[in-house]
Each structure stands twice: as structure tokens, then as C-alpha cells.
């Protein structure tokens, strides 16, 4: 299981009263989230394991309404299904973009490839003259 946190109200003294969230027991590491002032939380906050530590520090100068939060436990299988569905969608999108890229490269290569009638090396031109002379016993006429 992991913890799901729903912060419904949050209004503390800006930069003085602060709520820090830690993923696990260790509060000496960098917090996963840090809040102060007036905040709205449109999404739930989820941690990665069964422990979520909260540390609230406040000075005693000014009083603000504070915060209200609700927490619950969520099975790891629920998030596993969500994570895998997002992964499958990402794989499908990357595959489609790759196919489009390859198709674009193929089209670009074929558009740049010279056509038989556009390349002067393929054009046969023969000119005849009334005064054809044989030069050096060869079959070339001028």
C-alpha cells in the first residue's frame, strides 16, 4: 500500500509556516513537497511506499487558518494498473510517431531521387551533319 493525501484547505503564513512532505520515515532528506501561503490542490498527492511523513514548522507571530487534510491508503495494484495503462499509451504514441517519421523519410528520398527524364545523363542526343568525317578509324562522327 501507499498513502494518498487530499489537502482540501491550505492557508499558512507565507515563508514562515511551512508543511513539508517526505516519502518515508527519513525527514533529513529532501522533501517530496513543500507548501506555505495560500494553496489550492486540484490533485491528490501519492507517495511511493507505505509511509508518508509530514513536518509542520511555524513561528508564533501571526495566526493563519492553517490546513485541513485527509489521508487514506491505496493498494499498489491500483497505481500499477494506472502506470501500465499510461505506459501502453506512450508506447503506442511513440510507435505511431516512428512510423510517421520513417514514412516521411521514404517520401522525401523518393521525391529527391532523379527521374529518368530529369537527369541529363539519361538523355540520348544524336546530331547528324552533312559533312560527316571519319576520325582516326573510329565510328565517331562529327
- Count Cβ atoms below 10 Å from residue 9 Cβ, excluding itself: 13
CATH number reported for the structural domain that contains residue 67 in this entry: 2.60.120.290
pLDDT (tens digit per residue) in 14-56: 999 999 999 999 999 999 999 999 999 888 998 888 899 999 9
Task: Provide the domain count of the chain.
Answer: 2
Q: Within this chain, do residues 88 and 109 fall inside the same structural domain, yes or no?
A: yes
Q: Is residue 134 part of a domain?
A: no
pLDDT at 83: 62
pTM for the predicted model, two decimal places: 0.52
Q: What is the mean pLDDT of the chain?
A: 81
- Determine, yes or no, domain membership for 102: yes
Of the pLDDT bands very low, low, confident and very high (cuts 50, 70, 90), residue 60 is confident
Residue 137 has pLDDT above 70, yes or no: no
Query: Which residue, 23, 51, 74, sits at the end of a domain?
Result: 74
Phi then psi dihedrals of residue 36, to 5 deg: -160, 165
- Domain, as residue range, for 28: 2-74
Amino acid at each position: 500500500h501507499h498513502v494518498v493525501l487530499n489537502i482540501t484547505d491550505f492557508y499558512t503564513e507565507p515563508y514562515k509556516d511551512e508543511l513539508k512532505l517526505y516519502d518515508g520515515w527519513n525527514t533529513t532528506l529532501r522533501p517530496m513537497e513543500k507548501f506555505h501561503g495560500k494553496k489550492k490542490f486540484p490533485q491528490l498527492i501519492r507517495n511511493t511506499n507505505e509511509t508518508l511523513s509530514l513536518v509542520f514548522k511555524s513561528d508564533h507571530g501571526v495566526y493563519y487558518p492553517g490546513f485541513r487534510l485527509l489521508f487514506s491508503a491505496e493498494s499498489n495494484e491500483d497505481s500499477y494498473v494506472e502506470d501500465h495503462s499510461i505506459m501502453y499509451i506512450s508506447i503506442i504514441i511513440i510507435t505511431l510517431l516512428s512510423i510517421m517519421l520513417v514514412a516521411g523519410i521514404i517520401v522525401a528520398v523518393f521525391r529527391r531521387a532523379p527521374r529518368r527524364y530529369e537527369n541529363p545523363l539519361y538523355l540520348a542526343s544524336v546530331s547528324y551533319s552533312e559533312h560527316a568525317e571519319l576520325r582516326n578509324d573510329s565510328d565517331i562522327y562529327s
